[in-house]
Structures are given as C-alpha cells and as structure tokens.
Structure 1
Amino acid sequence: MTAFLWNFQPFDTLFIRDGTPFNAGEGGMWGIKSLFPPPITTCQGAIRTALAYGRGWTPGHNELWPEELGGPNDLGVLELRGPFMRREGDLLYEAPLLVLGNRSGQDITFHRLYPLVKKRITCDLNPKQGIVLPGLKEKAPGAQPLTGFWFTKKGIEDVLAGGIPSSQDVFQSNELWDKEGRVGIALNRKKRTAQDSQLYSTFHVRMQRGVSFCVRVEGVPDDWHRQAPPHITFGGEGRVASIKPEPDGGEYLPRMPELETDGGKVRFTVILITPAFFAEQTQEVIRQGPIAWIPGKCISACMGKAVQLGGWDMARGKPRSLQAFLPAGTTWFFEAEEKYGEQIKALHGACLGENTEMGYGQVIIGRLEGVK
C-alpha cells in the first residue's frame, strides 16, 4: 500500500476553534481564535469521513462505516503524519527553537543556539552537577525565537547540517495566511429567527494564493484514496476544502545529514516537527529529555510553551478535554556512544510519545557541532 499526501485547499476561509468557550470574555469583543495550521484531530476527521464516503458510507448509516477506519477513539489501520504547510508545492516546517532572529528594519539576521557545556547553571533541577543551557557563540542583542516563522525544506536541511537558513527559505505566517474577524448570531431553527443576546465573534483564517496544507495518509489500499470525494467539510461553520491525494515519493521529510563522531561519541539534535504528547511522562521529558526513546544523554534543550490541544468528539457531540503538548520546533541536544549510530539514524522521521499513529511527536535528526 502506497502512502499518499492529501493536499487541502479551502474554498473560502477556515474556522478551527481553540478551547475558549464562546461565553468567555463577555462584555467585550474578544472573539474566538482559529487554530492554524489545523490540529491533526481536525484533519483526521475530514480524512476518515472522505475515505468512508468513497466506500459508500453516508451519515446516519453507521452499519456502512468501514471497520478499517476505526471508531471514535482510534484510527483503525490508518497512520497519519502532519499536517504540513505548503507554498507553491514546497513543504514548510515550523522554525526550530534553536534558531533565533534579530530584526533590523525589513531584514532578519539568524543565529544558532549551542549547549554551553562549560557554563553550567546550579539550580534545583540538578543541584550537584548543574544544568547546561543553550546560548549564542556571538553577541546578538534583541535576538528572539522565531515564533510564527516557517522554513522551507532546504532551510530546515541547512539547520540539520549545523548551519542557519538563508532569508529566501524563511516565511512568516502572514505571508501564508491572514486572519479575518467575523460576527455571527445564534439561530432558532424551529422559528427560523435570530436568538436574543446570542451574538458571537470569531476569527477565521484565509490562506494566501498558492498556499495549502497536507497530511500524509497510509494504511489503506491505493484505490481508497482515489475514490475519496474531491471536497469535504473541514472545521467549523460548514467550511469546505478541496482534497487532492497524490502518492508520496518518500520526500516529505528533509534529508538527514551525516553525523560525525568525536572520541567515540556522536552528538546530534532532535527536533520536533509536530506537537508531542507524553501523557504521564511529560514532566520527566521536560526535565531530562525523551531519554526513553532516544539513546544517550540529553545535554540541553530549547523548549517552547506547552500548547493545549483538544478536538471535537463527534460521537458525544462535545469538545474533547484539552491536553498539554510540547510544541513543534522543540529541540533537544543529545550525546551518545558511537555504537548507537544506526539506532540514531532510524529515529529520523520516527514519532515519540503517545498517540503516534496520529503523527504526534515526529522528529528529525541533525548534526550538533561546535559544542563548548
């Protein structure tokens, strides 16, 4: 069975609500934000629905639902990766947190963080040995994490090879999509009238021309992908997106560079390209790194704020509970024995943590040089 990249192109705007209740912030016009890129929970719902339509299922006929597509709490035989942004067909990845940017007018200078192993910080996390924080080799006043930035495949490959991206391989979110405020009112469907005191405000997402997003889908026969309808309802408020599945040539991941060894040791970076869920092990991963999945010792890390993700429970008709995920772009710096080289290479494109069939916790492996 071939893996396919499902490309989604909205017909108009999209609305994928976050966990904020509609009555939060009453007395003002805060509005409900839209999550973007859409979480995989939203994507999998659209994908499974489209696949089911292609196999003859229609709403209200649960007996026709293909068992291969699972149920409310599982994906069946499906295995997903993504979603990933695309611009003019090129894949984009969220900026890794080990790259900082320093803006001067319209220009941005990029800097790379390294573990400062000779400048250990004593704190309660490791009172005896201290901890190693990432830092810059050169002074860069005002350098900040590249929140809302996206790297092309070439740009991320430059980072994996131990460098920094060139400016033409970096895009900001506002170059990929815009936010549009909307005001609506609740309707009484029986009376076909508006309900009193039920105004609400939302923020939709409108993608720029030539921009789309895709999900890698694997696990079902090839003809299932081709039998899916050309468009599907996606997200909230009845918005629609076109679907274009295409065979994945195995090039959706950036190339992994050759890792160098020094004194029988190999140093490497582990970068999340999708959010990761570690459940009860989250605290341990934050303190020590994902050592249950990766051989060696975690030297240091660049970690962002946890993101809260939930989704919509179609079976129960209500939102799913929010859970804390480590964000895409999170980077760990590792050191391992040379004998683990093949095991480390096998981690490139693998998923760490829980619910990996959904694509959570996918990582790419890069070179770590210049540690001082």
Structure 2
Amino acid sequence: MEYSFFSLSQIDSWFFKESRAMDPNESIHSPVESLFPPPMSTTIGVMRYAFACANGWKGLKTWSKPVNCQSEQASNDLTRVLGDGPPPAIGSLRFLGPFLRKNGKLYFPLPLHYVAEKEQWYRYVPGPRVTTDMGLTCLPQLENNAAPTMPLHKMASASGHFIAKDDLERVVSGAPLTGNMVFSASDFWETEQRIGLGRTEERTAKDGALYTTSHIRLHDKQEEVDIVVGVAGFEDLHRPEGLYTYGGEGRLAYIAPIDVPSDSLFFPNAVKDEAKKATFAVALSPVYLESTAENAATNLHVLPDMACQINGTVANILTCCTKEPLSFGGWDSKSWQGTQIRSYIPAGTVLFFKDPLPFAPATWGEMGNNAECGFGSLLFGTLFNG
C-alpha cells in the first residue's frame, strides 16, 4: 500500500497528557508530564479532523450527518473513508508513525538491546536458557566479545535515545553502533513548565485550582524539527494543509503534505524471501497485543516463547529487550468522553526470533492488533554482518 506523508510543524509548545490522572491535592511543583513523540491516537484524531475540514465538513458534531457537511455526498464520502468513531473505526485509512524528523531526515527510537559505557555501545543477544520466576526461559546477555569496565546496572540504557533512518538500516544489517550515530531527546526538544488555573462554569478563577504541566518545545533555529505521519487509503479526498488543534490545551500544528516519494523517506516493505534471514525485529512504533492488554505487566511477560503473526508468518519469540509498558488512551469527540486506557509494548523493543524469518534486514513489517492505526510497525534485522 502506498503511503503519503504529512508534516506536523509546531507553532508554539505542545502538550500530550500522560494517562496519570491530575490530582488536585498534588503540589503544583509536580507537573503533569507530556508524552513525546505523541500517541498515535491523538495524531489520528488531528489527521481525520484535517481531512474532514478539507473535504466539506463544517466542523460541527459528526460528519456522518449530511446537515454538518456541504453536501450529502461529502458526508457519505467522509464516513466511508474516515470512519465514524474513535480508532480503530477509521474507515479505509491506514497510518504510519508518528516519527521524528530533523532537517529532512527521519529518526527512530534506538533499539533497546544496546547499552553504553560512556561513548562505547554494547549489544545484548539471546543467552542460554535459565530457570526464572517465569519458568525455563531465555534471557538476553552481552555479546561474548563485550568487555565493559563498569557494572551493567550503571551502564546507560538506550531508552530516550534516537538514531537516524540511514544509520538504523546499517545497524540492523549487522554493522556496529558508534557514538556519533546516537542522539538524545535534548537534540530534538526541550521541556518547559507551564502553570495553569482552573476555571468555574462562569469562566472565573477557581480557588485552589493551580496546576503545572510540562510542555514540549521543538528546536526551531538552526535545526528544523517536526513530526511526520504516513497516511494511506484516503482515496480521492483533498490533502489537507493548514493550522489545526493538536494535543491538549488548545495547542496548534501546521499540517502540510511532504512531496517526496515514500520509498525515499521510509523503509521498503518486507517481501517474503526464503533466501533472506531476519533474526530479530525492532518495534518502530508501540505494539498493541489485545489478548494480553488487560494487565500491563503481562505484555512483557508473554513475549519470551510467545508465538505471533508477523507479516502473515508465524514467529516464535525467543526473548526480548524492552522496558516498562506505555499506557495511554484517547478522546472520543463523538460521545465526548475519554477512551479506554490501554497498555502498549514501547517502540524500540527488540524481539529475537527462535527461528529466522524469511525477510530481508532493513525492511518493515507489522505485528499485533490495530496495525491500521500505526501500531506494531517493525524493522527486521540480523545480528550478523553480511
């Protein structure tokens, strides 16, 4: 499927609220943190809103009612293509991302099987089977030739670091990771605290309702940083361009099409080839496993020795390198209430396969539920150069 890509550029700061409830008894010095990169549910919302506005929706209530559109045909087209409810009820649309872009290059979370001692990066690989509280299972261990001088628990994690698309293609094809390939969050954005004041229904100040939020401000001087999202399945609808509300507290984003071929911006699609051998995959976006989502911790516990479908092929997961699950929900503007908070395996998670899969390294595939919403995008890799 051919994707068209869009940029979301920042006008001021952005705020994407985490799933933790705001407690009025907390000190205003404990800010509500912002998720970043933003959740796909929020990005899907603004993209559907932008497409609807660009194609005859008046912005009033649901576009499934002709009275709210310029014509009955426009209402029918929007409902068929955009859907009529919160994700995954998104019609014929499919999404990729959102991903960071800096000076025209895409950046992705650094794979979580890397750890660092100063500027030297080491790699985890599957180790022997051992008995744990999960039973007999395989746990990751450092490569045999790794010789760090500090204890593992003091080494830097890959979490919170990013790598450019071209460099990620190299390392998943077996090349070593070097320090100049790795970027921290501060290379793309800074956080800044904002103090807000709750209001009454009469729009006057409410006593004791001060709160603090942590906003995201992208670098915008010598470095142009924005968000990129891929969209497919919008048929003949006009592509949107303009200012739209994005995230919390009425923040804005300028949405514009990116007029470059998708194969030059993103990874090639994985095609089954028995001559190719992928020994692991990196999650480019959060992964949603519906059957294990009721318990956040279960998302991680089931990964070792789990069998799952990846690009229509059965994959047996030997072990993984990951971190704590993500939790976020969304907003249903049709029923005017929040959606269910769900748990996701974070982007950057590395899944090692028990048996190699017939896909070439540095090609992308999908796993898990709600892949049409951008979840579960994977990049295949091999531990061996050549």
Q: Mapping of 1:155-166 within 5 angstroms? A: 155-166=167-178
Opposite residue 313 of structure 1, the aligned amino acid is: D
Match of 1:131 in 2: 138
Deviation at 1:25, TM superposition (A): 5.2
State the number of aligned residues.
353
Say whether the 8 Å CA contact 1:154–1:254 is kept in structure 2.
Answer: no
Tell me how far 1:164 sits from its aligned partner.
Answer: 2.9
Deviation at 1:78, TM superposition (A): 0.6
Gaps of 5+ in 2: 70-74
CA distance in 1, matches of 2:378, 2:160: 19
- Bigger shift: residues 150-159 or 26-35: 26-35
Q: Quick one: distance in 2 between partners of 1:165 and 1:354? A: 31
Letter paired with 1:33: E
CA distance in 1, matches of 2:324, 2:331: 23
**Aligned pair in 2 of structure 1 residues 82, 29: CA closer, same or farther (>3 Å)?**
same
**Which residue matches 1:317?**
336
- Work out the CA distance in 2 between the residues paired with 1:24 and 1:131: 45
**Which residue of the partner structure matches residue 291 of structure 1?**
308
1:178 has 2:190 as partner: yes
Q: Output the amino acid matched with 1:279.
A: E
Q: Is the Cα contact below 8 Å between 1:32 and 1:202 reproduced in 2?
A: yes
Counting only pairs closer than 5 Å after superposition, residues 186-265 of structure 1 correspond to structure 2 as 186-188=198-200, 190=202, 192-209=203-220, 210-221=224-235, 224-225=238-239, 228-247=240-259, 248-254=261-267
Number of the residue aligned with 1:357: 372
Change (3 A) 1:358 1:346: farther
Normalised by the length of structure 2, the TM-score is 0.83
Q: Match of 2:350?
A: 331
- Cα distance, 1:347–1:165 mapped onto 2, change above 3 Å: closer
Give yes or no for contact 1:295–1:336 (8 Å, CA) kept in 2. no
What SS does the corresponding residue of 2:132 show, helix, strand or coil? Answer: coil
Shift of 1:201: 1.0
**What SS class does the counterpart of residue 251 from structure 1 fall into?**
helix
Aligned-residue offset at 1:321: 2.1
Q: Which amino acid in the other structure matches residue 214 of structure 1? A: V
Is the CA contact (8 Å cut-off) linking 2:360 and 2:381 kept in structure 1? Answer: no
After TM superposition, give the deviation of residue 325 of structure 1 in Å: 0.5
Equivalent position SS for 1:46: helix
Distance 1:87-1:27 versus aligned 2 partners, 3 A rule: closer
Is the 8 Å Cα contact of residues 309 and 315 (structure 2) preserved in structure 1? no
Aligned to 2:158: 146
- CA distance in structure 1 between the aligned counterparts of 2:315 and 2:32, rounded to whole angstroms: 43
Q: What is the Cα deviation at residue 132 of structure 1?
A: 4.0
TM-score, scaled relative to structure 1: 0.86
Q: Please tell me whether residue 87 in structure 1 is matched to residue 102 in structure 2.
A: yes
Percent of paired sites with the same residue: 25
Pair 1:301–1:135, CA change in 2 (3 A): same
Q: CA separation in 1, counterparts of 2:327 and 2:25?
A: 19
- Structure 1: tracts of 5 or more residues without a match: none
Q: Specify whether residues 135 and 256 from structure 1 end up closer, same or farther in structure 2 by C-alpha distance, changes over 3 A only.
A: farther
Aligned with 1:97: secondary structure?
coil
The letter for the 2-side match of 1:218 is A
Within the candidate set 281, 291, 298, 1:280 is matched to: 291
Aligned equivalents of 2:330, 2:306: Cα separation in 1: 27
Aligned match for 1:109, one of 117, 120, 136: 120
Change (3 A) 1:91 1:327: same
Show CA shifts across 1:228-286 (max 9, x none). 2411111111111111112443233346999999xx99451111010000011464742
CA distance in 2, matches of 1:335, 1:120: 12
Q: What is the aligned partner in structure 2 of residue 122 from structure 1?
A: 131
Contact kept? 2:304, 2:318, Cα under 8 Å: no
Question: Which shows bigger deviation, 39-48 or 284-293?
Answer: 284-293
Separation in structure 2 between the aligned mates of residue 204 and residue 212 of structure 1, nearest angstrom: 15
TM-superposed CA distance for 1:369, in Å, is: 2.8
Q: Which residue of 2 aligns with 1:304?
A: 323
Q: Aligned in 2, Cα 1:34/1:356: closer, same or farther, shift over 3 Å?
A: same
Q: 1:265 & 1:189 partners in 2: Cα distance?
A: 63
Q: Secondary structure at the match of 2:169?
A: helix
| Deviates most, 327-336 or 212-221 | 327-336
**Which amino acid counterpart does residue 102 of structure 1 have in structure 2?**
E
Q: Quote the Cα distance in structure 1 between the aligned partners of 2:276 and 2:231.
A: 37
RMSD of aligned alpha carbons: 2.8
Q: 1:186–1:194: 8 Å Cα contact kept in structure 2?
A: yes
Flag the 1:346–1:109 CA change in 2: closer, same or farther, 3 A.
closer
Give the whole-Å Cα distance in 2 for the aligned partners of 1:256 and 1:317: 37
Q: Equivalent residue for 1:35?
A: 35
1-side partners of 2:271 and 2:49: how far apart? 41
Contact 1:333 / 1:368 at 8 angstroms: preserved in 2? no
Change (3 A) 1:256 1:168: farther
